[in-house]
Each structure stands twice: as C-alpha cells, then as structure tokens.
Amino acid sequence: MGDQTAQDRSGYDLIGTYLKSLSSQPGVYRMLDAEGRVLYVGKARNLRARVSNYARPSGHSARIARMIEATRSMMFLTTRTETEALLLEQNLIKQLKPYFNVLLRDDKSFPNILVSKEHAFAQIKKHRGAKKEKGDYYGPFASAGAVNRTLNQLQKVFLLRSCTDSVFSSRTRPCLLFQIKRCAAPCVGYVNEADYGALVADAERFLQGRSTQVQSRLASDMAAASEAMEFERAAALRDRIKALTQIQQVQGINPRGVAEADIVALHMEGGQACVQVFFIRANQSWGNRDFYPKTGSGADAPEVLEAFLGQFYADKEPPRLILVSHRIENEDLMTELLSDRAGRKVEISMPQRGEKAELVENAARNARESLARRMSESAAQSKLLEGLADALGLETAPRRIEIYDNSHIMGTNAVGGMVVAGPEGFIKSQYRKFNIKGTDLTPGDDFGMMKEVLARRFQRLLKEDPDRESEAWPDLLLIDGGAGQVSAVQETLAELGVEDIVFVGVAKGVDRDAGKEEFHRPGKAPFALPHNSPVLYFIQRLRDEAHRWAIGAHRAKRAKSVGATPLDDVPGVGAARKRALLQHFGSAKAVSRAGLDDLKAVEGISEKMAQTVYDFFHSGR
C-alpha cells in the first residue's frame, strides 16, 4: 500500500504527480483533503488510467471538479482482481462514509417468516437476524407490517400455532386463538400430529407459491362437508378460503412470469434520490420499501444505483434476478460480486418490455411519488426548523435536535430515552435508550436520571469525536422538564466542558395542559408560544415522540424483568437449556424443587450441568 502526500500541490497538479508510480493493476484509490479526511473512495480496473482522468484540467462534472480541487493527497491499494476492487471499495465506503460517495443510510435487516421445526408441532412466527433456528425461512418481507399481515391471514387459513414451546407445553386448555379460529389447538390434543403436519405442509406450499393447489383442495373439502351435511365444518372451510383470497388481494402484485426477483427502481430530482425495492418471492409480492441514499453531492443515476446495489446486498442474500430501472456502471463486476455472495448465479437485468418492464415501471412510479412526498415534507420541515430557531433565538436553523425523556414507575425499571430529528424529520436509526445504572440515585430522582443520561451521551461523543467533525453532535437539546431539569443539564454539560450547545426545557404549564407549555433556558425567564403557533405544535410532536420512545423502552425493560426467572442466574444455563428445563418441568419453581436424578433426565442436560442446577437451588441460596 502506498501513502504519498504533496502538501505544496493540490488538485490536478497533485494528482498528476502520482501517475509515474502507479501500475495498470486493478485497485482502490482514496482522495483526501488538507485535514486528511477521505473525500472519495473509488475503484479502478486500471489504476493508472483512472487516475490520469482526474489529472486532466477539463471535461469533468461540477461534482468531480469540486472533489479534485479539494484533494491534497491520495492513497492507493492494488488488488488481484477487479471484483476484489469493487468489494474493497464498498467496504471502505461503508466504513469511512466519504462526502463525495453515494451512501445508503438505512441498512436495517428485513424480517422473514419462520416455520420452526424445533418441535413436533411446528410453530409459525416472525424472524429477524441470523438463521440459526431449525426450520424453513420464507422472505425477505419489506417490513414488520407486511409479515404481520401475512402471518395473521396464514393463522386464519392454516390454524398454525404461534405460541412459544414453553407456553405450548404448559397449556391445559385452549387459548383465545383457538376460540377465534386462528389455531388448531395442538397443545391440548385437539388435532393429532399427522393432521397438524398436513396443515404445516399446506402453509409451506402457499409460501412456496403453490397456493392454487391449497385453494382447490380446500374447495373440494368444503363441498364434501356440505354434501355430508357437516355444515359447521363447511363454514369453517369457507372462512379459510376467504382468508386465503384476502392474502392474495393484499399482496396486490402477483406476477405470473417472475417467481423470484427484487425490483429496484431509482428516481432522482433536485439533487435527491429515492430507490424503491419490491420483493417478489414464490410469484408473490412480499412488500416494498423506499430508500433515500445520499447522492455524494451530485452523482448520476448509474453510479447511484451501482453503489446502492453494492451496499444493499452487503449483508443480505441477493435473489436470482434483480430487475433495475437504469443501467449501472460496472454490471459485469456487480453481477460477479453478488453471485459470489449468493453462492449461485445472480442476474441483473433492465427489461424493456413485457411483465418485467411493467414491474419496474410500477416501482419507478412509487419511487417518483415517494420522493415528491419527501421533498414536500422536507420543505415544510425546513420552515418549522427556521421558526424554531426564531422562537428560541438561535443563529441558524438546527440540523440535529436531540430530545430527552425519562420513564419509570416509582423509580423502578428506569430508562432514559433520546430521539433525534432534523431537516428530514425523525431519524429513527439514531434513537437511543439508556438503562439507568446509578446506584446512588434516590428512586424517582428525575434530575439525577437526566444527569446520568446526558453525561453518558456526551462522554461518548467526546471520546468518539472530540473535534466535532461528524454530524453526530447536536445543535439543540430539548429536555422534558422545567427549571430543575435545565439546571441539572447545565451542571452536567459544564462538568464535561461542553458549554456551547443550546438546550431548552419544555415544561407543561398551568394545569399541565398541552398548549400551555413553558420553555426554560439557563439564566432567562420562562416564556411561552402562542397556542396556535405551528412551532408549538412541532415542539409538542418532538416531545411526544421522546415520551413514546422512553415509555416503550421502560415497558420492554419491565416486561423482561417480569419474565425473568431464577434460571437466568444459573451458571451455564443459556436460552436452549432454560427452554429444555421449562418444557420438562413446566415452571422455574418446579425446576428449583427437582431432584438430581430428575434433572439428569432432561434432554440436553448433562450430569455435570444437572449437578450445577441442583447445587444452585440447594446451597442455601
């Protein structure tokens, strides 16, 4: 790897000095500014040829010209193949986030439906993350909502259980899902293993795209039940057929000629981009999601779409076919890279006619409409931010607002919440929760909790970005509370040496009535905004979102503590052994009373582990 600098030169002249030492091998280059920050990461089939283009003083777009002008040094790394260069480029972009590169800012995983085979009576459920559990996975689905809708309908049609194995083993009578005809109640023997297995097989046929077989058999069963005058069974089958039809209607797009594909369509306007992705699996649409990649200060469509594909599939398995709205720059390299990741052939295609072209056009229309809505919302948001700056006496409109709130019940399960908002609305990927750890806090000490949350937040910022070069530093803090909370925040930030960030306490006013909020700032008298002020409504939305987030974090923590058992503290007992013990004995209390021989009889519990569990509950603890 070569690291060469020439601080006395810049731009075209500087870049030209590297040409003599560069080879014609494939590789990756980095362009850096005077502070050593990476401006751009690029790949090249031929490093010398690619860099020589930047040494020419003309023929560049405005974006590339700005990038060249800001360049003060370059770094190079050669690779064995062009595909390796593409892979290295994508990894460096994700790691360094250069200003002039296209960046995918939303990298959330996608949920699947799992038909779990850990138990004789298979469970159907939503799954996200690594596929470690035994069973069949179907997906990806575009959102949790898309999965939940499909799961609800599948329960109506196929009556599969969704309860956990421990709940299943502890039931003595059927649950509510059986009463509302969403489960066959295998837990209490209302359906035998063979008949339940047939239901599972039908559900999997549907998820594999063979729904017509399922539907025709249900129809013939309904007819037979009607002829036999089993009218209650016939009505139940009719309801299942109706639910199956509803799934197909909700999915909307059910292409006949495309069994498996991702539809990826790009629309660009006003320097912004929207990429719409539709998931087609088993000839069914499993939802769509829109993405708004950062365009690297003006990249064109082929570069934006190529960067999106490389980053989108960095941690997701690509399908056999990817239909795109635009040609990408290095289609052969991207195809090879994605095929390597999938372990099979992946095709990237831009269809011109037929059903595939219609699918792409539909996705492109969605991208166009989504971007128009976002730009409209962004314009409205910008006006609100400007109004907020005027109301609070800020010099400029804030680009990052952090809103804080605490939640607890009599001091227990205390959690602090932080939400983030900016010119494009709420930035949910930046939300954070803080489990209150302070052991010296009086239960219910809201001031102490806020001081702990702010201290932890800004200690981390000071450690990770002491020079404040990133966008992670806020311009404005909104605190749920009045003068006391503001004083606590002021004291905490002063101790950390952070004294130039504006913070405001938002307190409920007279009778704690929404609309009569008072705003507190250090050393200034409280003030209020007109009750019909759009800025007041905006602040209320910010505060309510922080409250919602903190309440949700608190409830999750409380639920976890309620569901905790003494087994959680037994050394060596993880999730699998805990599940085995609960399934065998029915409760943690029964485990604690079990004899050593009984513990040894549990599947997956060795003699040594049985002794550990026995000793834990019988050693005077």
Angle between helix axes 144-158 and 231-251 (nearest 10 degrees) is 160
Per the listing, tokens 């809505």 go with 373
Distance between CA atoms of residues 75 and 36, nearest Å: 11
pLDDT for res 446:
82
180 CB burial (10 A radius; 0-12, 13-18, 19+): exposed
pLDDT of residue 244 exceeding 80, the answer is no
Q: What is the mean pLDDT of residues 217-243?
A: 77
pLDDT for res 5:
45
pLDDT for res 335:
96
CA angle 593, 597, 602 (to 5 degrees): 85
Structure tokens at 355: 């059903």
Least confident of 221-235, 282-296, 481-495: 221-235
342-398, pLDDT tens digit by residue? 999 999 999 999 999 999 999 999 999 999 988 888 888 889 999 999 988 888 899
Q: What is the mean pLDDT of residues 239-248?
A: 67
pLDDT for res 76:
96
Least confident of 229-243, 324-338, 468-482, 493-507: 229-243
When the pLDDT of each residue in the chain is averaged and rounded to a whole number, the result is: 86
- Specify the length of the chain in residues: 621
Fold type of domain 260-372: Nucleotidyltransferase; domain 5 (3.30.420)
pLDDT for res 315:
85
Phi-psi region of 73 (alpha: psi -120 to 50; beta: other; left: phi over 0): beta
Q: Which of 48, 183, 196, 60 is nearest to 120 (CA)?
A: 196
- What percentage of residues in the chain have a pLDDT greater than 90? 44
pLDDT for res 276:
96
pLDDT for res 616:
84
419-471, pLDDT tens digit by residue? 999 988 899 889 999 988 776 666 667 888 888 999 999 999 998 888 787 78
Cα 287 → chain centroid: 15
More confident residue, 553 or 167: 167
485-528, pLDDT tens digit by residue? 899 999 999 999 888 889 999 987 655 455 678 899 988 888 88
Fold type of domain 2-99: GIY-YIG endonuclease (3.40.1440)
60 CB burial (10 A radius; 0-12, 13-18, 19+): middle
What is the torsion angle, in degrees rounded to the nearest 10, for the CA atoms of residue 596, residue 598, residue 599 and residue 600? Answer: 90
526-535, pLDDT tens digit by residue? 888 888 889 9
How is 335-383 classified by DSSP, letter by letter?
A: HHHHHHHHTS--EEE---SHHHHHHHHHHHHHHHHHHHHHHHHHHHHHH
pLDDT for res 107:
66
More confident residue, 376 or 474: 474
298 within 8 A of 63, measured Cβ to Cβ: yes
Fold type of domain 566-617: DNA polymerase; domain 1 (1.10.150)
Per-residue pLDDT band for 301 (boundaries 50, 70, 90) equals very high
Distance between CA atoms of residues 67 and 39, nearest Å: 7
> Same topology for domains 260-372 and 401-561, yes or no?
yes
- What percentage of residues in the chain have a pLDDT greater than 70? 90
Per-residue pLDDT band for 235 (boundaries 50, 70, 90) equals confident
pLDDT of residue 296 exceeding 80, the answer is yes
Q: Which of 482, 469, 434 is nearest to 454 (CA)?
A: 434
Per-residue pLDDT band for 284 (boundaries 50, 70, 90) equals confident
Dihedral sign, Cα of residue 524, residue 530, residue 533, residue 538: positive
pLDDT of residue 3 exceeding 50, the answer is no
Q: What is the CATH number of domain 401-561?
A: 3.30.420.340
Structure tokens at 435: 């489990």
Least confident of 8-12, 203-207, 482-486, 508-512: 508-512
More confident residue, 570 or 295: 295
Q: What is the mean pLDDT of residues 136-156?
A: 86
18 CB burial (10 A radius; 0-12, 13-18, 19+): buried
pLDDT of residue 252 exceeding 80, the answer is no
Least confident of 159-163, 266-270, 562-566: 562-566
Per-residue pLDDT band for 6 (boundaries 50, 70, 90) equals very low
pLDDT for res 253:
55
Per-residue pLDDT band for 188 (boundaries 50, 70, 90) equals very high
pLDDT for res 620:
52
Structure tokens at 427: 């930035």
591-607, pLDDT tens digit by residue? 888 888 889 888 889 99
Non-local CB neighbours of 73 within 8 Å, separated by 6+ positions = 4, 5, 6, 7, 14, 31, 32, 36
Least confident of 216-225, 257-266, 510-519: 510-519
pLDDT of residue 336 exceeding 60, the answer is yes
pLDDT for res 181:
85
Structure tokens at 194: 């063979």
pLDDT for res 254:
60
Whether omega for the bond prior to residue 140 falls within 30 degrees of 0, making it cis, is yes
pLDDT of residue 187 exceeding 70, the answer is yes
Q: Where do the domains of the chain lie?
A: 2-99, 112-251, 260-372, 401-561, 566-617
More confident residue, 440 or 556: 556
pLDDT of residue 127 exceeding 60, the answer is yes
Least confident of 48-57, 232-241, 351-360: 232-241
Distance between CA atoms of residues 296 and 293, nearest Å: 9
Least confident of 114-123, 381-390, 559-568: 559-568
